[in-house]
């Protein structure tokens, strides 16, 4: 019942797409896990995506999208270019920017795993009316009780 309620909540927010018919929580388990504790995922995003914090939101979005595609494609620049529908040289340029920003973090499998987690959550929220888990300042926003506040793009 808890899974169904959480799934319904995520459908209402637009995080989980509501196609016609029955929505089965079991088909969205990884999303349910990602959003089980949004304060925790926001804190992890604050930590792992901090190198992007000084960039404009549009730059953050492009580089985050490229980094996620790179992580999901086995770090293959040509596949990233196909996924993003951009020229491979554009991907290589962005990857050089990411290497400059993240340095050796991109070599650590545990940190890459963390990055993929937060980037997947960020991508799910970005598809949903501009909610964000990372502010341009790089700070997660919440009250003193740790409640997560979502962001809307202006």
Average pLDDT across the chain, whole number: 82
Higher per-residue confidence, 131 vs 20: 20
Higher per-residue confidence, 20 vs 28: 28
Residue 131: the pLDDT is 52
Q: Using an 8 Å Cβ cutoff, are 116 and 71 in contact? A: yes
- Cα–Cα separations (whole angstroms), residue 148 to 42, 125, 133, 139: 7, 13, 9, 12
- Smallest Cα–Cα separation from 153: which of 54, 55, 57, 46? 57
Residues 59-116 have pLDDT tens digits of 999 999 999 999 999 889 999 999 999 999 999 999 999 999 999 999 999 999 999 9
Residue 130: the pLDDT is 47
Residues 37-46 have pLDDT tens digits of 888 999 999 9
What secondary structure does DSSP assign to 136-148, as a single string? TTS---B-TT--B
Residue 146: the pLDDT is 36
- Cα–Cα separations (whole angstroms), residue 126 to 63, 85, 88, 154: 14, 18, 24, 13
Tell whether pTM > 0.85.
no
Segment 130-152 shows an average pLDDT of: 40
């Amino acid at each position: 019942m808890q899974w169904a309620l959480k799934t319904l909540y995520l459908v209402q927010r637009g995080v989980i797409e509501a196609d016609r018919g029955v929505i089965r929580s079991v088909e969205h388990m990884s999303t349910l896990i990602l959003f089980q504790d949004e304060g925790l995922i926001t804190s992890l995003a604050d930590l792992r995506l901090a190198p992007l914090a000084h960039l404009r939101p549009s730059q953050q979005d492009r580089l985050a999208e490229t980094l996620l595609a790179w992580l999901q494609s086995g770090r293959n620049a040509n596949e990233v270019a196909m996924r993003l529908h951009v020229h491979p040289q554009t991907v290589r340029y962005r990857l050089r920017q990411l290497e400059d920003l993240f340095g050796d973090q991109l070599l650590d499998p545990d940190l890459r795993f963390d990055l993929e987690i937060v980037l997947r959550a960020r991508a799910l929220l970005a598809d949903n009316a501009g909610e964000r888990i990372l502010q341009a300042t790089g700070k997660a926003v919440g009250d003193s009780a740790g409640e997560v506040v979502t962001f809307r793009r202006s």
